[in-house]
Structure 1
Amino acid sequence: MELVRITADNLEKEHICCAIASARDPQVAAKKAWLAARLAEGLVFLKGNVRGKCFIEYLPAECAWAPVEAPGAAVIDCFWVSGQLQGQGNATLLLNACIDDCRAKGKTGLAVLSSPKKRPFLSDPDYLRRRGFTVADRAAPWFELLWLPLKPDAAPPRFSPSVRGPGPAAPGFVLYYSHQCPYTAKYVPVVRAVAEAAGVPFQEVQLKSAAEAQACPAPWPTYSLFYNGAFVTNEILSAKKMVQLIGELCG
């Protein structure tokens, strides 16, 4: 499969794989605006030349939108191959291209957020372990920072101190999110509306810079929902799932 690298020149015309195809959809617009601002910071978005979920997105750790300390390394913030594109070697093609690029740039290694078992919106731990990634750090309740060193003397990464501290002090729900994932543009308003209809306090915190994301109290700043200061989920919830969650927590 041919791989396409997103640049400032082709960003507007390329399908970005994981949101609705229409360029007018707010999800697409939000993601492309986020990407446009990150390209100058060294972000790489590499995709299969297809209309489907087949891509890898990574950037220098110093500019990563994640509470990770990994000087000289790179951080994969999204790696997704699904549907009919699975089982054809496409994930290996993408990851190999990422590794080759990072070696050429002199990166010390690759870090990626995962968990002991496959969870929504986190990279597949079984596949990554088969490719040589090992656990460098852990954070409650289920997050693992996986690591592939690219230099023999590479120091492993670790989570930032922000993820070890207390959660937000506000009562009710507090949602941290960014437009790194296009789905937040659609589903953040959805869960806010559900919470407001149920009379449950709801506060959203949009992270608008790498510095803000690196100071997030949760390991996955793209979307992390807290309730009464405790982490609840990193899954981007539909209205139905938010209703169920409120029933479980507030019923």
Structure 2
Amino acid sequence: MNKNKIISVTPENVDQQTLYCIKNTKSEGHKQKKEWFNEQYSRGLRLNILQDAEENMLGFIEYVPAENAWRPIVAPGFMFIHCIFVYPNKNKNAGNGSLLIHQAEREARALGMHGLCTMSSKGSWVASKKVFVKNGFRQVGKRDRFELLSKKWIISDADPLLADWTANQKNYQGWHLVYANQCPWHEKSAEAMLKVAREHGIDLKITLLKTPSDAQNAPSGFGVFSLLHDGKLLEDHYLSETRFRNILKKELQLG
């Protein structure tokens, strides 16, 4: 008998349950994500953690009504899945991802929504589409490395759309880091990148996204992390100090 259970994280139990991705409740990343989570909870954001009988964490899912999604999408009436992750590998291919998606679907149906949608990619920091296709999602859009997937209850309802995140990239002249605390690792990355930029005498302008609308109009598909130089998107997900040093080396040589 499967004794796995889904725990709903709330502002009241977040310190006890953690935020899955970052378990050290005293870290700056946890602090920033917690503040972000508490703010977005009132906008319908939900984070569920899957546990086994011994309360070991097997995976998590984060979702929100698409009007308040922190990705460049247009999907009124849909529930948008920001993130889904099952770890370690022994917990994969055991139906755990599907359990988490089913929970999000139940909530979306109970709220009278049109369906679910999400963005997938073969690249880093975004789930691949395999588990979603298995659960009835189909591709309804694609741009760069990202695919927009949707599962709707009524076939005649309009499909979600991807926004054009390339439209305003030209406005970011010089060096820019645009990020949000939707991911608890971004604060650490921003601090490391700022330190490296100063070492190289580079004026790295940092913009912290504060609202879903900010993220929906961000200059990358991931929405919540964008590194740009003179109007060109260089990276769209978390960067380590070493990776940023390598990017700088390449860009400065090209310049």
Q: How much identity, in percent, do the aligned residues show?
A: 26
1:150 aligns with 2:153: yes
Aligned residues: CA RMSD: 1.7
1:105 aligns with 2:111: yes
Residue aligning to 1:232: 234
Q: Give the partner amino acid of 2:109.
A: R
Which secondary structure state, in structure 2, belongs to the residue aligned with residue 47 of structure 1?
A: strand
Q: Give the partner amino acid of 2:141.
A: D
Which secondary structure state, in structure 2, belongs to the residue aligned with residue 128 of structure 1?
A: helix
Listed one character per residue, the Cα deviations across residues 119-158 of structure 1 (whole Å, up to 9, x for unaligned) are 111121233223332222222x322211111323221111
- Alignment partners' CA distance in 2, 1:61 and 1:107: 10
Residue aligning to 1:85: 91
Residue aligning to 2:225: 223
Moved beyond 4 Å, runs of 4+: 50-53
Please identify, of 104-113 and 182-191, the stretch whose mean Cα deviation from structure 2 is larger: 104-113
Q: Is this contact kept in 2: 1:176–1:225, CA < 8 A?
A: yes
Q: Give the partner amino acid of 1:212.
A: D
Q: Is this contact kept in 1: 2:58–2:96, CA < 8 A?
A: no
- Alignment partners' CA distance in 2, 1:216 and 1:171: 15
Q: Equivalent of 1:94, from 88, 100, 107? A: 100
How far off is 1:198 after superposition? 2.0
Residue aligning to 2:195: 193
Residue aligning to 1:211: 213
Which secondary structure state, in structure 2, belongs to the residue aligned with residue 204 of structure 1?
A: strand
How far off is 1:33 after superposition? 0.9
Q: Is this contact kept in 2: 1:109–1:154, CA < 8 A?
A: no
Q: If the length of structure 1 is used for normalisation, what is the TM-score?
A: 0.91
How far off is 1:6 after superposition? 1.1
Q: Equivalent of 2:20, from 17, 24, 34? A: 17
- Alignment partners' CA distance in 2, 1:52 and 1:110: 24
- Alignment partners' CA distance in 2, 1:10 and 1:167: 39
- Alignment partners' CA distance in 1, 2:147 and 2:219: 15
Q: Is this contact kept in 2: 1:194–1:243, CA < 8 A?
A: yes
Q: Equivalent of 1:132, from 127, 132, 136? A: 136
Q: Is this contact kept in 1: 2:172–2:228, CA < 8 A?
A: no
Q: Give the partner amino acid of 1:127.
A: V
Listed one character per residue, the Cα deviations across residues 171-215 of structure 1 (whole Å, up to 9, x for unaligned) are 332111100000011111111211221233311111001121122
Q: If the length of structure 2 is used for normalisation, what is the TM-score?
A: 0.90
Q: How many residues align?
A: 246
Residue aligning to 2:44: 42
- Alignment partners' CA distance in 1, 2:43 and 2:188: 26
How far off is 1:234 after superposition? 1.7
Residue aligning to 1:76: 81
CA 1:172/1:233 → structure 2, altered by over 3 Å: closer, same or farther?
same
| Structure 1: gaps spanning 5 or more residues | none
1:54 aligns with 2:72: no
Which secondary structure state, in structure 2, belongs to the residue aligned with residue 12 of structure 1?
A: helix
- Alignment partners' CA distance in 1, 2:190 and 2:58: 22
Q: Give the partner amino acid of 1:228.
A: D
Q: Is this contact kept in 2: 1:175–1:203, CA < 8 A?
A: yes
How far off is 1:53 after superposition? 6.1
Q: Is this contact kept in 2: 1:172–1:200, CA < 8 A?
A: no
Q: Is this contact kept in 2: 1:113–1:122, CA < 8 A?
A: yes
